[in-house]
């Protein structure tokens, strides 16, 4: 009946009246609270911040046995998706790809992301990668390389990128940002570079307001025993990530004018951008910016290994590129 109505509307020149099918989204990795939060925002029209235009219809469980926060949650989240939202659980990623229009890789563990992305890219589906893009910088580079070669649009971001004040500064409300300091929790997971696991949130806010152009970083430990990473950008601009209890930050211009940035304002703003990306196939964040963000975080670990010395992003990126080609 729906096809008949659509055909009639088209023949009568009333195509705008024809109902548009929602984008069918598939999830990979059911071991993070994000899968429930995102599905609720997309599938439940009564939810505050409901995002129209897409629906989660199928998923692949995934899960990592050596990460407790993954293995202990995957079965519970799978049950909720099946029973509360009617999401179909697929046995393989290849099967999942035949049932959907777009994919969101949600695995809390970044290490399997490259292997999970390969069949998605092969299937020609637009791909959103939740943080972290991967478990290493070399895997991050390989994912973007494969997608570029195949002509597949991909996008990755933390929800922290889409705070209103953060986005206003990004759009130029303060002019050029010459100094920024952004904070977030930075819980460490031993299988990942230190900031990839949770510090990525504050680093995402930092790069949103500073943009690309970071040249070097120095990692320190504060008097409270917390992580602090100072980056030097082109033209002498300074951007700092500092581990903290919550999500906050400031951005300042050359005149000394300053505004608050880095707040967390829920998942809906990010989901809006993901759906828009699936519709347009145009990533709202460039590959270059995301790669630089993850290089910044990897360089912070290299600075730590070298006792707090300044490390250039160029040398860290070159090492990762060599590893990704092996």
Q: Is the pLDDT of residue 5 over 50?
A: no
> Which range, of 66-75, 235-244, 280-289, averages the lowest pLDDT?
66-75
Q: How far apart are CA 265 and CA 247, in angstroms?
A: 10
Please tell me the distance from the alpha carbon of residue 326 to that of residue 324, in angstroms, as a whole number: 6
pLDDT at residue 9, as a whole number? 47
The structure's pTM equals: 0.92
Average pLDDT value for residue range 138-162: 98
Distance CA 228, CA 241 (A): 6
pLDDT of residue 19: 60
Other CB atoms within 10 Å distance of the CB of residue 42 = 26
What's phi and psi for 146, nearest 5 deg?
Answer: -60, -40
CATH class for domain 2-159? alpha beta
- pLDDT tier, 324 (very low <50, low <70, confident <90, very high otherwise): confident
- pLDDT above 60: residue 14: no
Q: Where are the domains of the chain?
A: 2-159, 160-272+278-325
Q: Could you give the percent of the chain with pLDDT greater than 90?
A: 91
Which residues are CB-contacts of 66 (< 8 A; sequence separation ≥ 6)? 191
Tens of pLDDT, residues 205-223? 999 999 999 999 999 999 9
Residue 3 has pLDDT above 60, yes or no: no
Is the pLDDT at 52 greater than 90? The verdict is yes
- For 160-272+278-325, CATH gives 3.30.360.10
Q: Sorting pLDDT into bands at 50, 70 and 90, what band is 325?
A: confident
Q: What is the pLDDT of residues 233-279, one digit of tens each?
A: 999 999 999 999 999 999 999 999 999 999 999 999 999 999 999 99
Percentage of the chain exceeding pLDDT 70 = 94
Q: In the prediction, which pLDDT does 18 show? A: 46
Task: Tell me the H-state helices in 61-215.
Answer: 68-71, 74-85, 93-97, 113-123, 137-150, 164-170, 194-197, 200-210
Q: At what angle do helices 200-210 and 287-305 cross, to 10 degrees?
A: 120
């Amino acid at each position: 009946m729906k096809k008949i109505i659509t055909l009639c509307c088209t023949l009568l020149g009333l195509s705008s009246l024809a109902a548009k099918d929602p984008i069918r989204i598939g999830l990979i990795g059911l071991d993070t609270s994000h899968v429930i939060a995102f599905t609720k925002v997309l599938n439940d029209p009564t939810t505050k911040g409901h995002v129209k235009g897409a629906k989660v219809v199928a998923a692949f469980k995934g899960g990592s046995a050596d990460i407790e926060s993954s293995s202990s949650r995957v079965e519970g989240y799978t049950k909720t998706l099946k029973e509360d939202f009617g999401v179909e659980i697929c046995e393989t990623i290849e099967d999942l790809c035949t049932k959907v229009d777009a994919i969101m890789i949600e695995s809390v563990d970044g290490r399997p992301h490259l292997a999970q992305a390969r069949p998605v890219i092969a299937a020609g589906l637009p791909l959103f990668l939740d943080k972290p893009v991967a478990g290493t910088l070399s895997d991050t580079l390989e994912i973007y390389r494969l997608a570029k070669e195949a002509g597949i649009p991909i996008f990755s971001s933390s929800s922290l990128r889409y705070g209103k004040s953060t986005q206003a500064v990004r759009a130029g409300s303060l002019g050029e940002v010459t100094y920024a300091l952004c904070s977030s929790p930075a819980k460490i997971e031993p299988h990942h570079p230190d900031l990839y696991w949770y510090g990525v949130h504050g680093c995402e806010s930092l790069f949103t307001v500073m943009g690309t152009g970071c040249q070097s970083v120095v990692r320190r430990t504060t008097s409270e025993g917390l992580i602090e990473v100072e980056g030097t950008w082109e033209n002498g601009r300074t951007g700092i990530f500092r581990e903290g209890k919550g999500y906050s930050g400031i951005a300042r211009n050359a005149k000394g004018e300053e505004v608050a940035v880095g707040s967390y304002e829920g998942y809906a703003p990010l989901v809006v951008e993901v759906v828009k990306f699936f519709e347009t196939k145009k990533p709202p964040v460039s590959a270059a910016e995301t790669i630089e963000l993850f290089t910044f975080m990897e360089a912070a670990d290299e600075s730590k290994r070298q006792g707090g010395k300044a490390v250039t992003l160029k040398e860290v990126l070159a090492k990762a590129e060599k590893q990704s080609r092996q």
